[in-house]
Amino acid sequence: MAGMKPISASRSVAGLLLLTLLAGVPVVVFRKALFQTRSRATLVLNANDVNDVALGHDIPVVVENVPDGWSGAISVNSAQRFPFRSTPFRLKATVENGFKRHGINDLAVVLLDQNGAALPIKGSDGHYHIATVPNVTVHPELQVVDAEPTSRAIIVEEKVGYRSGVSGRPEWVTIRPRPGGIYDGKIHYDVQRNTSNEPRSAQFLIGDAIFEIQQRAPVAVQLPYRESFSSRVPPSPIWLLDKRDHGERIEAESRWFLDEQPGRQSTVTVEPGGPGGSNSLIIQNSQADSRPWATQLDLPEIEVETGARYVVSVFLKAEVPGSVTINFTQRTAPYQDCGLFQTVAVTKDWTEVTLPFRVSSENCGAKKNRLAIWTGTLAGKLWIANVSLGLSPTAVKKPAVR
């Protein structure tokens, strides 16, 4: 605890501000000032005084011998303001009340007389500094892990006599019991596999310390998969996927990739207006191409099983009626058909296209496959909405009836 400097009152007035410590907790004491005019008093506060208080503890504020109708207020780090009219007043040092978890806090104290006139605090301008000290510190405070199952540890430092507990952890994080009840200054935990198509995160408490964990989404698309383009993020350029294939850690904003042949310059946007109030992805080509694959939208690395039956569904409409090709193939040479290659007509009205298929080759696993929509032969705008991919209903086994 930092040493307290003595607080002195101005000889021109009888105002006195005493800052003391009771039971290790800072206490601010104000005494009534004797003044010649009834509207002002002068209080002296040494702004360089620093006191420590454990996070979560009370800071008692005592005001004595004040005129009738007085009032006061304390602002914490300019974030929260706490008015008070009685004494003693207790202010809890918590994050919710505007205090820092660890560090110096600025408490701005204001006193008013019964006429609403300020009683200025000389020298310090009414500012009082208190350092909050947490009972527990953790390292790291944030941990980012991959989608695969993993085990990690958190280094925990506790104040003497304080024993931290863990609360608020998510279901996908398990705290490992301490072998033999021995505490080694660490909390060991296990993270389950992320089987969704989105990253996830959570915060939980270790004592009064906040620990945050973030888990990345799997690289491979998990089924069932639904895409309503609600994030309004356009497809990533195909060269990002090429870099990821070569071992670079690429955090692509979208799971979809736009692949175009040289000379093609399509415009891709995401806008509202899809079926059922969904968004739609719009690909606009200035002119048609004789090659259907000249412009294509790819969803790569889908987690499928060889021989299993699936169904893909998508809503389509076009500014100029024409056709697109929807296929499930290998995305690298020799670009083998993996069970789906279908050309479908697209009109000016929304049409749902539903295509069942069976994964036909062992070489069509997640590392090699893609679902692709070829749009090269269309001119103008093509709207794509509500893409879904999952097991075929006929592939779901029903329990036997006895």
CATH of the domain at 262: 2.60.120.260
pLDDT of residue 6: 32
| 279 and 353 part of one domain | yes
Please name the residues in contact with 163: beta carbons below 8 A apart, sequence gap of 6 or more.
none
pLDDT of residue 12: 31
Sheet with 369-374: strands ordered across: 236-237, 257-260, 295-300, 369-374, 322-330, 337-346
Tell me how far CA of residue 43 lies from CA of 19, 32, 64, 302, 353, in angstroms.
12, 9, 13, 71, 79
Domain count within the chain: 3
**Half-sphere exposure for 381 (CA within 13 Å, toward CB):** 14
Residue 204 falls within a domain, yes or no? yes
Residue 401 falls within a domain, yes or no? no
From the CB of residue 160, how many other CB atoms can be counted at a distance below 10 Å?
Answer: 4
pLDDT of residue 135: 85
Distance of CA 61 to the CA centre of its chain: 37
Domain boundary among 168, 185, 215: 215
pLDDT of residue 182: 62
| 355 and 276 part of one domain | yes
| 196 and 161 part of one domain | yes
Tell me how far CA of residue 12 lies from CA of 33, 47, 51, 70, 283, in angstroms.
11, 20, 28, 22, 79
pLDDT of residue 156: 93
Domain boundary among 133, 161, 181: 133
Q: Given the structure tokens 């998508």, which residue do they identify?
A: 314
| Secondary-structure percent of the chain, ordered helix, strand, coil, rounded to 5 | 5, 45, 50
* Strand partners of residue 386: none
| 315 and 332 part of one domain | yes
| 129 and 143 part of one domain | no
| 193 and 97 part of one domain | no
| 58 and 193 part of one domain | no
Residue 313 falls within a domain, yes or no? yes
Q: Are 295 and 289 in contact (CB under 8 A)?
A: yes
Within the chain, which residues score under 50 in pLDDT? Answer: 1-24, 31-48, 397-402
Range of the domain at 61: 16-133
Residue 402 falls within a domain, yes or no? no
CATH of the domain at 146: 2.60.40.10
CATH of the domain at 81: 2.60.40
Distance CA(226)–CA(396), nearest Å, equals 18
Residue 5 falls within a domain, yes or no? no
| 197 and 258 part of one domain | no
Domain boundary among 114, 133, 152: 133
What is the identity of the amino acid at 267?
Answer: T
| 242 and 363 part of one domain | yes
pLDDT of residue 29: 56
Residue 6 falls within a domain, yes or no? no
pLDDT of residue 98: 95
Residue 400 falls within a domain, yes or no? no
The per-residue pLDDT for range 365-376, each reduced to its tens digit, is 999 999 999 999
Q: Are 352 and 313 in contact (CB under 8 A)?
A: yes
The per-residue pLDDT for range 298-357, each reduced to its tens digit, is 999 999 999 999 999 999 999 999 999 999 999 988 999 999 999 999 999 999 999 999
pLDDT of residue 22: 35
| 33 and 63 part of one domain | yes
Residue 220 falls within a domain, yes or no? no
| 76 and 125 part of one domain | yes
| 344 and 242 part of one domain | yes
DSSP 362-402: TT-STTTEEEEEE-TT--EEEEEEEEEEEE-GGGSPPPPP-
Distance of CA 158 to the CA centre of its chain: 27
Distance CA(98)–CA(106), nearest Å, equals 10
- Choose among 260, 264, 262: nearest CA to 238: 260
